[in-house]
Amino acid sequence: MILLKPIHLEGTTMLFSPYDVRGVTLKNRIVMSPMCMYACDAEDGTVHNWHLVHYPARAVGQVGLIIVEATAVTPQGRISARDLGIWSDTHVDGLKKLVSLVQEHGAKIGIQLAHAGRKAMIEGEIIAPSPLPFDEKMATPKEMTKADIEDTIQAFQHAARRAKEAGFDVIEIHAAHGYLINEFLSPLTNQRTDEYGGTAENRYRFLSEVITAVREVWDGPLFVRVSANDYHPDGLTVQDYVEYAKQMKEQGVDLVDVSSGAVVPASIDPYPGYQVPFAEAIRHGAGIATGAVGLITSGLQAEEILRNGRADLIFIGRELLRDPYWPRTAAKELGVPLEAPKPYKRGW
């Protein structure tokens, strides 16, 4: 039996090296992936105490960039009634407070702008590209009219303006996991016969117009999260997303945050790093920066992804829910000294 000793990478590592995007410098390559908290006490979408504790705790834990959960651009676009919102100017003050608390501890902060489409679980009418329910338990959405499409694009633009006013460093557009934009992209959920359906170019049109609208009011770092595999024989694969990513790059998107699945019910066999090859394929195929996500749990695993050029940023989800100080755990594993949080004077 061969016993393997833990590997320590002395000195500078890629995981703990800075990353610059449009003049915004992240102190390391660790990103807190956007994860819904369902923590709004009322259905008004405003920031509550939970958010003011949850996100700054990860900033104290030395995460480089924290992306706030899917935040609805319209009330109709909420995944649940307890989601955060950015559909009203009344949301800005709470978001400003959250931004200030996170930035105070040395992290950058982003916000994921989202519309749930047919996967909205709220009272009242829901909308989608085509009137197809997600499954037999979900409501059938109304097919969006041209006016609905125009209004929703404007809602994304207004949300981006509010994000800028609140002081966010990064905006991420949510085009993954079977929500509205993903529904336009995939032929499994888009059966339209107008200019927003049919060909790949037409199915990309809605996302393209959202990106253009956001870029009109936002000149900072812009990410897009995608589901790079529909896990269905008639659905999209990573090669389709390589082509989409080329168009995103031309439109001024800085990084593609690469996830997968959830546009239709499907059997997925997850394993450590199972989505990393998708990030790698898009990075090299489209010549655009990518973020890797999905069962990345150790510093060594993250360092391998970066060192081998498979992605540019590491998005950590569940591990940061379990351990707000995961960066410290990763730094110890890699043999990297990590600066203590500023108010904390004792050993870290």
Structure tokens at 328: 């410290």
Count Cβ atoms below 10 Å from residue 297 Cβ, excluding itself: 18
Banded pLDDT at 11 (limits 50, 70, 90)? low
Q: Any idea which architecture 28-334 has in CATH?
A: Alpha-Beta Barrel (3.20)
Q: Is 60 helix (H, G, I), strand (E, B) or coil?
A: helix
Banded pLDDT at 260 (limits 50, 70, 90)? very high
The residue extents of the domains of the chain are 28-334
Q: Using the predicted structure, report yes or no on whether residue 86 has a pLDDT greater than 60.
A: yes
Hey, CA dihedral for 178, 180, 181, 185, is it positive or negative? Answer: positive
Banded pLDDT at 339 (limits 50, 70, 90)? confident
- Name the residue with tokens 């956001």: 214
Banded pLDDT at 346 (limits 50, 70, 90)? low
Whole-number Å distance between alpha carbons of 318 and 297: 9
Count Cβ atoms below 10 Å from residue 145 Cβ, excluding itself: 10
Write out pLDDT tens, residues 268-291.
Answer: 999 999 999 999 999 999 999 999
HSE at residue 104, side-chain half, CA atoms within 13 A, is: 11
Count Cβ atoms below 10 Å from residue 327 Cβ, excluding itself: 25
Write out pLDDT tens, residues 100-139.
Answer: 999 999 999 999 999 999 999 999 999 999 999 999 999 9
Q: Is 194 helix (H, G, I), strand (E, B) or coil?
A: coil
CA 196, 197, 201, 205: dihedral to nearest 10 degrees? 20
The lowest-confidence range among 171-175, 291-295, 335-339 is: 335-339
Write out pLDDT tens, residues 175-210.
Answer: 999 999 999 999 999 999 999 999 999 999 999 999
Tell me what the pLDDT averaged over the chain comes to.
94
Hey, CA dihedral for 306, 326, 109, 79, is it positive or negative? Answer: positive
Write out pLDDT tens, residues 137-158.
Answer: 999 999 999 999 999 999 999 9
HSE at residue 157, side-chain half, CA atoms within 13 A, is: 16
Nearest Cα neighbor of 293 from 249, 262, 338 is 262
- pLDDT at site 4: 41
